[in-house]
A and B are shown apart, each in its own frame.
Chain A
Amino acid sequence: MSSLFVVVDAANKGFFGKLTRSRVPGAIPFGGKYRLIDFTLSNCKNSHVTNVGIFPYGYYRSLSDHIGSGDRWDLNRRKDGVFILPPKNLILTIEDSLSFRRMYEHLEYFKRSSQEYVLVTPANLVWNIDYQVLLHQHLITGADLTEVLSAEQKRIRTFILAKKLLLDYILNADTIPYRNLTDCFDYAPTIKKETYLFDAECRLVETSFDLYQANMALLNPLTRMELFKKERPIYSKETMSAAARYGKEASIDNSLIASGAVVEGRVVHSIIGRKVRIEAGAKVANSVLMNQCVVEKDASVSYAILDKETSVASSSRVEGDLNQLFVSEKKQIVVGQENLKVLQITAECHPFVKVGGLADVVASLSDNFTRLGVEAFVMMPLYRMIEDKYKAYLENKAEQIIDYGGEKFKVTLHYVLDQNVNYYFIEAYDFFDRPKIYGYEDDGDRFAFFAKAAVAFLDIFEALPDIIHIHDWHLGLIPLLLKADSRYEDIQTLITIHNIEYQGIHSADILKKLGLNVPFQTQKEINFLALGMTHATKLSTVSETYREELKFEYYSKNLVDIINRRDRDFYGILNGISDEIGPNRDLTIARKYNLMNVFSAKKENKANLQKRMALSIGNDYFLMGMVSRIVEQKGFELLIPALEELLQDPSNQFVLLGTGEEHFKERLERLKERFPDQVALNLEYNATEPSYIYAGADVFLMPSRYEPCGTSQMIALKYGTIPIVRQTGGLNDTIEAFDPITKRGNGFKFYNYDERDLLFQVRHAKQLYLTDRSSWQQLIINAMNSHFWEKDCALAYVSLYRQMLAKPLQQEGTR
């Protein structure tokens, strides 16, 4: 009867943080006893669909375990059934939607499917619907492509079309300008498109907050009625557990409790999964607890999502809030919020010394740690410029003689307490009393020596730090040095990779000089970063997407093996910007502004920028701004040819501030000569005040080839200047593509490192700017409302530290 088959899009990773570390979103537990994909699969069964193809990305073990043979949904058919169709490249997770190219990898599946129509729908959509109704609707409207929207007119990535048409797109994936059905619906001009509004409970769950809300919605009787229907039940994998048990002192209100749960304590307004144990005196409020969590006695949990098998130790408190839910990792053991001591050992830290962004990150972390009740310590070398400037403030703490390569060196430890952060400086005349920070032939020796001295001075701490956090390659030897001293075996180490290109490759003699004996070290050279990554307790980098990208040799080069080996211990935590940055209190721009007056102020700032840079003045010009180092990484190979084409249109303008490589500068200067009224460049070394560009431009370009995190796009967002970025690293994590239908999103992004894709997005943005004022204004509001604060970043690190300190019940693997 059914002429419909279903393609399940499980290729989207969403924004779930820890919850998707080892599973795809479709496999996330939901509603006490379900997994998200149960709704899609049950809808298939209840709509008599017998042919289902699931396209997951890499981590689909959990999904495939859950689905099994598909028998729970009657999909263990002789003919057809359920097919899990993995990507050719298992670790690619960048796609945000199932692409035609991805479908092409399983072309045979589409060719063999005998049904005439196909429904494409995600695995993380919570609804109860008869797909045949959609097909019927599609047929009577005579549409080529029907998109289904939720009652709130949100896009739910659900489409219905003839298999023939889909096959057409798949077979031509390489030549058509559309990546997926969303693109087709938005841009394909020749087909007949219709939408269908589904006016009952329907939620696309894409973030951990969506997940929280979707769970809480189950406490609403109407929602429950619309999801759990007698005539169309939701089926799930069969499990084994007794009915829920309540103790004598149990107290419970407005909560959903799955079977196998044992409740002895208090539960309010929560969703309690299978086999969860809540002991006497414990309290759980406004939270979602997945299967087999344990809340020990007298512990309390509020506004949290606890992943499977999380244990909250007795008397500990887990407290999130609606803006920042506490999210645990699977099997995490949450212990009390007792004092945490974190020592960052670093080569640079603002305000004492700054070469790159690292200095700001270290400073902002320490600063925010103290606000979060974490004791913050920073240790760095006493460079000459620090000594010159701060000598008067420093207190002499200790002295030692350090042996390095048979020579003895005197080192002194200086100390200053500034805004509750404890700073330590190590003075060593032979290594650091020099005019520059980096760039000496003996950099390897200098930082190896510093690492040794830093570890030697740990004995000044009455109570040792719980965590030592190191950054980049410079301190890569610290974990090894700590391991060599049994006094320090309880100290957990985290190494953060800010940019994997800098690895610190130096002579292997350094190990000998340090007195370290490393087995199997036969090469002549050692790699500081690689050693750090191998021996640290955990690893992190500065965005979730960069973390994913590093699994590819293209990004991580020689370290790809280590990255993949340590994947389980590798985290992505996005940097933030100070909440003091923004147009509201910026005195260097023509007119300060905030959300209230942005539209008029932005016009004024734009005119000011045009005037200042001697461009034609007017709001009808489309002004593209850029503040960037002028190097290959930032995408100038794409940008320059794209500009050559864009500037043919006299209504386009381009402003750039930055310094960098000569050959790019020359090409840019030539552009300026050709289009003097449209191009403005500020390539001076003293160009340090970029605010007028952030405030005056319409869009902000960042077509980077790679970008571990990037902060310029975060600043541009604050100024309501719309980023157009390549979908890489931190750019992908901060920019959500604007969707003209739902008016969600804060910028534009393209995936392929290709100038045509950049051009397409710029033109798309410009068209919106010129023809759809209300969308453009909404986009500005969305941008200004996006925030990536330093304190959220610090909070994420603190949560990772606590996780590192929790003693696992049973050791997994080697570490």
Chain B
Amino acid sequence: MSKLMVAMILVGGKGSRLREITQDTAKPAVAFGGKYRLIDFTLSNLVSSQIDAIGLITQYEPYELMAYIGSGASWDLDVVDGGIRFLTPYSSANDQVIWQKGTAHAVKQYFRFVKDIGAEYVLILSGDQLYKMNYQAMLKHHLETHAEITIAATKVPLKDANRYGILDVSATGELVAFNEKPLAPISNLASMGLYLFNTSVLEGLLEDGSTEETVDFGENIIPKAIREQKRIQVYLHNDYWMDVGTVESLFQANMDLIDNPDFLNLNQSRNMPVYSRSLNLPPHLVEGGVVTDSIIADGSIIRGMVHHSVIGYECLIDQESVLENVVLLPGVIIRSGVRLKNAIVNKQTIIPKDFVSETEQVRLFSGEHFREEAKTIV
């Protein structure tokens, strides 16, 4: 059976701005909000948009992500005629490259996936953003405006605009110009890195024969499309959107979650629920501790004081520890007497007894630090 739309999720490169957090894992597998991984949001959006043919293009440290997604059953993506496919780099007889050069190159390498499904439209997504969007609404917009390409965009603070691809749009919503990370942005309308293509148009743009490199969507494909005068529409996303690219943005997104009880409607089961993989952990236990204004995931044990913090699954916070504005990724152990403020602690880190860090700047603590510190103490 052929499907109308197929999705290609680009997992992307190293995500070095997340530092040790992405040392051994791909960005989409980074934990968020206690029990989620970033990829949950994109996958749940797809399922809620009735898209169940998904290619996941992985290059960097794919193991943890693959293990997490498994058969995709947690998102109802273990379907017979589609489901989720991991598309890993390969080389073949008529391909000289051994490694995928960029996201667009990866899509090109796996274009057969799109062809096999027989989809008329291809959705290009990234797997490390926090937002809720119904892609069917985007397709509707695409069809109504007779576009060949639709780019999803959102408004960002002008001061941050130089971190994004900035769009210049005509009165009819058509894309006029695209500036990747401009030094002097002319608007605050940023590309979300989310594109909807007519399959034939994308195939044409990826085709060899032109002298241009077709490596990256933002840098190569979209400018090429503008030059070839494709009909490109911009679809505006007005709700919450966060590109979790840095330690600061990961911390901020977690704080947003605490402060807004309706954050992405995570506590509702109707209307685009967010699914995640069950971890088979017992509920968490608060044992003589104090917890206010916080989020706590399964399997954790809280004996200390927790204020305005997000505690991942299987964490232990021992007696007389005080945490404020702290994000614990899963499996962190906080020994007794620890005081932490404005911190994010990488998964599986053990914070030693009586350790104190109360800075105004957000600090990242990772297992490595303490292994060295432990040595020096000994």
Spell out A's residues near B (CB within 8 Å).
31-33, 71, 218-219, 224, 227-228, 233-236, 238-260, 262, 271-272, 275
Q: Is the CB of B266 within 8 A of A255?
A: no
The closest CB in chain B to the CB of A254 belongs to B287
A423 and B34 alpha carbons, distance in the complex (Å):
62
A253 and B292 alpha carbons, distance in the complex (Å):
12
Q: Is the CB of B274 within 8 A of A31?
A: no
List 23 interface pairs A-B (beta carbons < 8 Å), by A numbering.
A224-B282, A228-B282, A234-B282, A236-B278, A238-B277, A239-B278, A242-B33, A242-B266, A242-B267, A243-B33, A243-B310, A246-B291, A248-B292, A250-B293, A251-B290, A252-B289, A253-B286, A254-B286, A257-B284, A257-B285, A257-B286, A262-B267, A271-B283
Contact partner of A256 (CB less than 8 A), chosen from B269, B275, B278, B285, is B285
A296 and B308 alpha carbons, distance in the complex (Å):
23
A residues within 8 A CB of B281?
Answer: 228, 233
Q: Is the CB of A250 within 8 A of B35?
A: no
Number of residues of chain B lying within 8 A (CB) of chain A: 38
A355 and B295 alpha carbons, distance in the complex (Å):
64
The closest CB in chain A to the CB of B280 belongs to A233
| Interface Cβ pair total, 8 Å cutoff | 110
The closest CB in chain B to the CB of A247 belongs to B293
CB distance from A37 to the nearest CB of B (A): 15
A241 and B273 alpha carbons, distance in the complex (Å):
9
Known contacts A240-B275, A243-B296; decide if A253 and B288 are in contact (CB<8 Å): yes
Q: Is the CB of B35 within 8 A of A256?
A: no
Q: Is the CB of A243 within 8 A of B295?
A: yes
B residues within 8 A CB of A224?
Answer: 282, 285
CB distance from A714 to the nearest CB of B (A): 41
Whether B73 is near chain A, meaning CB under 8 Å from some CB there, is yes
Whether B74 is near chain A, meaning CB under 8 Å from some CB there, is yes
The closest CB in chain A to the CB of B265 belongs to A242
CB distance from B274 to the nearest CB of A (A): 7
Contact partner of A33 (CB less than 8 A), chosen from B276, B283, B286, B313, is B283
- Interface SS, B side: loop
- Interface SS, A side: loop
The closest CB in chain A to the CB of B285 belongs to A256
CB distance from B345 to the nearest CB of A (A): 16
B residues within 8 A CB of A251?
Answer: 290, 292
Whether B324 is near chain A, meaning CB under 8 Å from some CB there, is no
Contact partner of B283 (CB less than 8 A), chosen from A233, A238, A250, A256, is A256
A218 and B285 alpha carbons, distance in the complex (Å):
10
Map CB proximity to A onto B258-275 as digits: 1 under 8 Å, 0 otherwise: 000100001101000111
The closest CB in chain B to the CB of A264 belongs to B261
Interface centre among B276, B284, B293 (most CB of A within 10 A): B284
B residues within 8 A CB of A236?
Answer: 278, 280
B residues within 8 A CB of A253?
Answer: 286, 288
Map CB proximity to A onto B188-209 as digits: 1 under 8 Å, 0 otherwise: 0000000000000000000000
Q: Is the CB of B292 within 8 A of A249?
A: yes
Whether B294 is near chain A, meaning CB under 8 Å from some CB there, is yes
Interface centre among B36, B286, B311 (most CB of A within 10 A): B286
Across the A-B interface, the 4 shortest Cβ-Cβ residue pairs: A243-B34, A242-B266, A32-B283, A258-B283
B residues within 8 A CB of A227?
Answer: 282
The closest CB in chain B to the CB of A238 belongs to B278
Whether B298 is near chain A, meaning CB under 8 Å from some CB there, is yes
B residues within 8 A CB of A33?
Answer: 282-283, 298
Q: What 13 new A-B contacts, CB under 8 Å, besides A256-B283, A259-B298?
A: A219-B285, A238-B277, A242-B267, A242-B274, A243-B35, A243-B297, A245-B294, A246-B293, A246-B295, A252-B289, A253-B286, A258-B283, A259-B283
Q: Is the CB of B298 within 8 A of A242?
A: no
CB distance from B31 to the nearest CB of A (A): 11
A241 and B73 alpha carbons, distance in the complex (Å):
16
